[in-house]
Amino acid sequence: MKYFKHKTSLIDKNCTIGKNSKIWHWSHISKNSKIGFNCTIGQNVFIGEDVKIGNNVKIQNNVSVYQGVTIEDDVFCGPSVVFTNVKYPVAKKKINKKNYEKTLIKKGATLGANSTILCGITVGENSMIGAGSVVTKNIKKDTIVIGNPCYELKKKKLKKNKMLKKYKK
């Protein structure tokens, strides 16, 4: 094994986990998932079937990454980030996995603690989602959003995103 797996974590068959990645306490990696190198999967994280996670990704505690979600390289998911994969979930009937919506988190994005990412969304490269925000639409590259539903902070106030670039180096 070229990665660390805590003894309480569960890794299903046919998973690929890259070198120097760490899977912490009580996490579950479902079948056919791919996790890149140098990733940290925090405590109590669930990675669904067929999920693809890039390199240098940090997923903090209590995050569930459901089938249909793809996370590219260098992404940070804060504690308790929420992903969805069905727009109109119901308890009465079984949902066909073919109907899962695709969600894409592009390279370098930061998802703040307890943010919610609705399914079918693309979060642009190097974007930042503020803690507690609810993302209901696509987020452009190099954009900072906050609120419920989230809205873009004016770039003028942020001095052309110098704050974001500072932390992405």
Q: Please give the domain boundaries of the chain with CATH numbers for all domains.
A: 4-168 (2.160.10.10)
Token couple for 27: 């996490």
Q: Are 58 and 81 in contact (CB under 8 A)?
A: no
d(CA 139, CA 167): 19
- The pLDDT value recorded for residue 34 is 98
Of 23-37, 39-53, 89-103, the range with the lowest mean pLDDT is 89-103
- The pLDDT value recorded for residue 92 is 81
Q: What percent of the chain has pLDDT over 70?
A: 91
Our CA angle for 18, 129, 132, nearest 5°, is 110
Q: Report residue 156's pLDDT band, with 50, 70 and 90 as the boundaries.
A: very low
d(CA 49, CA 3): 20
Amino acid at 35: I
Model confidence, pTM = 0.90
Amino acid at 118: L
Q: Report residue 163's pLDDT band, with 50, 70 and 90 as the boundaries.
A: low
Whether 164 shows a pLDDT value over 70: the answer reads no
- The pLDDT value recorded for residue 24 is 98
- The pLDDT value recorded for residue 155 is 60
